[in-house]
Structure 1
Amino acid sequence: MAPIKLITVNTAPERAKRLIARVVDDMKEKYEIEHVANIERVEDVKETVERERPDVLFTASMWTPEQAQEIVAIAKETCPNVKTLSLPYGLQVEKGPDAVVEYIKEKFPSVLGQ
């Protein structure tokens, strides 16, 4: 089975890399996830999605619901089959990185339609 190509949209790329590394490690028995890129600006979503053709795109919790919707719309317009997960606004700030990792692990199967 080919790895699942993941792009994150996060203004803190190092934090995104660390959190996704934890998710990848925790879920490696069930999924092979490859974090292919992080996008820091909404303006770069279209170009990066075109280049990487991800299977999944996550928007981080620093984006408001409106911003997350815009990012998802751009991604789906560019790559209609991309699956998306938008973390609830403020999750990282309010509950910390462990809550982010748990949220992703809980939602990931349904994002993939499993």
Structure 2
Amino acid sequence: MAPKGPFKLVTVNTAPDRARRLIGIVVEDMASRFTIVHAGNAESIEEVQSVVEEHKPDLLFTASMWTPEEATEIISIAKGVVPDLKTFSLPQGLQVQGGPDAVVDYILKHLPALLN
């Protein structure tokens, strides 16, 4: 069976290099089931609208540095541009508490349900 997708992904992360690296691991691990293309990253809440307008993603991730309130604001802004956008928020502090492996594991565990 062919992988589902492609899904165009935008991340919202103040550390864009880390976002690209971790998403690269996820994309590679899930390649047999899903085709995910990391199209762009917004480094701040202020950048979300323009990045989403530019890339028109299918999927948006908020990183674990954002509070639940900030993640809600980011999602609201993004859905104002792409109303049927699928969104995925990492729990606040996950990167700090568990490191990059915890982030990758969390995404691999929870993302398939969103994409299926």
Q: Same fold (TM over 0.5)?
A: yes
Identity of aligned residues (%): 57
Cα distance in 2, alignment partners of residues 2 and 100 from structure 1: 22
Q: 1:58 and 2:61 equivalent?
A: yes
Instruction: Decide which of 93, 97, 100 is 1:97's aligned counterpart.
Output: 100
Which 5+ residue runs of structure 1 have no aligned equivalent? none
Output one character per residue of 1:19-65: Cα deviation in whole Å (capped at 9) or x when no partner.
00000010011111100001101011111111111000000000011
- State the SS of the aligned residue for 1:96: helix
- State the SS of the aligned residue for 1:104: helix
- After TM superposition, the score normalised by the length of structure 1 is 0.95
Moved more, 1-10 or 81-90: 1-10
- After TM superposition, the score normalised by the length of structure 2 is 0.94
Contact (CA 8 Å) 2:64, 2:95: kept in 1 or not? yes
- Runs of 4+ residues deviating >4 angstroms: none
Q: 1:23 and 2:26 equivalent?
A: yes
Letter of the structure 2 residue corresponding to residue 40 of structure 1: E
Cα distance in 2, alignment partners of residues 2 and 67 from structure 1: 28
Q: 1:41 and 2:52 equivalent?
A: no
Cα distance in 2, alignment partners of residues 78 and 4 from structure 1: 17
Which 5+ residue runs of structure 2 have no aligned equivalent? none
